[in-house]
Structure 1
Amino acid sequence: MLHHKEFYYIRHGQTDWNAKGLMQGFTDIPLNETGRKQAYEAAEAIKGTKIRTICASPLGRALETAEILNQVLNCEIVILDDLKEAGFGVQEGLVDDGWFTAWKDGEFTPEGAETRQEFIQRATNAVNTAIDYPGPVLIAAHGGLYGAIKHYFDLPDYEPLPNCALCHHTPPNAKNPLWLRRFVNKD
């Protein structure tokens, strides 16, 4: 269960491995020029928000995205190890040949990878830790991590989060019993 607190979430900008369709996981692949451009565009979109803390994955692609956004926000960046992407073990650096769906369904775990359930638990705990910082909080992390928590928002599993998509999440309240998600910088 996610704590009922407002927060923002951004997936890191594009990397060369994203562009090639390769699974990254714990492998620390940096942003490419497109990814940096995406992050600067997201920084423009986030101007005027009241974000007080950025919580970021320690992986370079997410941390650099957070640092670019912080040029506008000028707030504390907290690095949380558990905001890392799922560890995909021997599948990192390879194209998904169908194993990823089996992993998400809990039917297959690559050698050296964490199970889907382990990842969902880690992701939920990490997001709860992040949103307990002075907020609203911006979480700068990964597409897989967002996928692990989006069932709380009643979102379809097949809908991936694009690179540098910036989402604002509002918790359930008396007027609305569901989490609300609004894209800040995407149509």
Structure 2
Amino acid sequence: MSQLLARPYWFLRHGETEWNARHLSQGRTDIPLNDTGIAQAKRAGEALAALFAQGERPFSYIVASPLMRAYVTAEYVQQAIKEKAGVELPLTHDRDLQEVCFGVQEGKPMGDWYNPWIEGQFVPEGGECFEELTTRAVQGVNRAQEQAEGVPLIVAHGALFRALRYAMGLEVNVRLANAVPVKACLDGQQWVLEQSLPV
């Protein structure tokens, strides 16, 4: 597995989809935001735009998963920052930031297979193992770090962030709420996550 570059980055999980609301496994299936998810994405954009409006520059560009629930969330953030702070940030996508493929489990209720999957004891038929996801997630974030000057905002997915937590040496199976931005940074040799925005 590649090592995560020791540089700060922001991470935003996409807004809610109908499958999130119904507790169904989404994986690589390209499900759009629902009305709640759109509202969440707009709120996250407004909260982040407020930092720019105050003169801060928390990140310099946005790199998203190409799946529509993440990319559209990123577009709402980009638009809010432009409208509220007059700052136009570049937005690109990277296929390595796509959600894990859960194979035959996609569209089905989340079950008791999820923990064994994280622990490397189970892979759904046609799916991707946690180790492969982690390697891909680290490569995607590292590539985002290297594509431009400054700090990136990564807009992607929940299981992918669990893989990044693993790469950062943090407790892995912790759910990240929809559309709540976090900053990942180093405190000495330790990764820490900061979540301080009122969204």
TM-score bracket relative to the smaller structure: over 0.9
Task: Determine the structure 1 residue equivalent to 2:154.
Answer: 139
Once the two structures are superposed, the pairs formed by residues 106-145 of structure 1 within 5 Å of their partners are 106-134=120-148, 135-145=150-160
> Over aligned residues, Cα RMSD in angstroms?
1.5
Query: In the aligned structure 2, how far is the partner of 1:70 from the partner of 1:183?
Result: 19
Does the Cα contact within 8 Å between 1:152 and 1:179 map onto a contact in 2?
no
Q: Displacement, 1:153? A: 3.6
Corresponding residue pairs, total: 184
Q: Displacement, 1:99? A: 1.2
> What is the identity percentage for the equivalent residue pairs of Structure 1 and Structure 2?
38
Query: In the aligned structure 2, how far is the partner of 1:131 from the partner of 1:28?
Result: 25
Does the Cα contact within 8 Å between 1:153 and 1:181 map onto a contact in 2?
no
Matched, 1:67 2:75: yes
SS of residue matched to 1:179: strand
Once the two structures are superposed, the pairs formed by residues 92-111 of structure 1 within 5 Å of their partners are 92-111=106-125
Q: Displacement, 1:130? A: 1.2
Stretches of 4+ aligned residues off by more than 4 angstroms: none
Distance change >3 Å, CA 130–CA 184, structure 1 → 2: farther
Once the two structures are superposed, the pairs formed by residues 1-187 of structure 1 within 5 Å of their partners are 1-47=3-49, 48=52, 49-50=56-57, 51-73=59-81, 74-134=88-148, 135-172=150-187, 176-185=188-197
Query: In the aligned structure 2, how far is the partner of 1:155 from the partner of 1:88?
Result: 23
Residue by residue, what CA displacement relative to the aligned partner does 1:117-142 show, whole Å, maximum 9, x if unpaired?
Answer: 11111111111111223221100000
Q: Which runs of 5+ in 1 are unaligned?
A: none
Residue by residue, what CA displacement relative to the aligned partner does 1:106-163 show, whole Å, maximum 9, x if unpaired?
Answer: 1111111011111111111111111223221100000111000112444322321010
Does the Cα contact within 8 Å between 1:109 and 1:115 map onto a contact in 2?
yes
Residue by residue, what CA displacement relative to the aligned partner does 1:66-109 show, whole Å, maximum 9, x if unpaired?
Answer: 00000133211111001000000000000122111111111111
Query: In the aligned structure 1, how far is the partner of 2:72 from the partner of 2:196?
Result: 20
Query: In the aligned structure 1, how far is the partner of 2:145 from the partner of 2:42?
Result: 24
Paired amino acid for 1:84 = Q
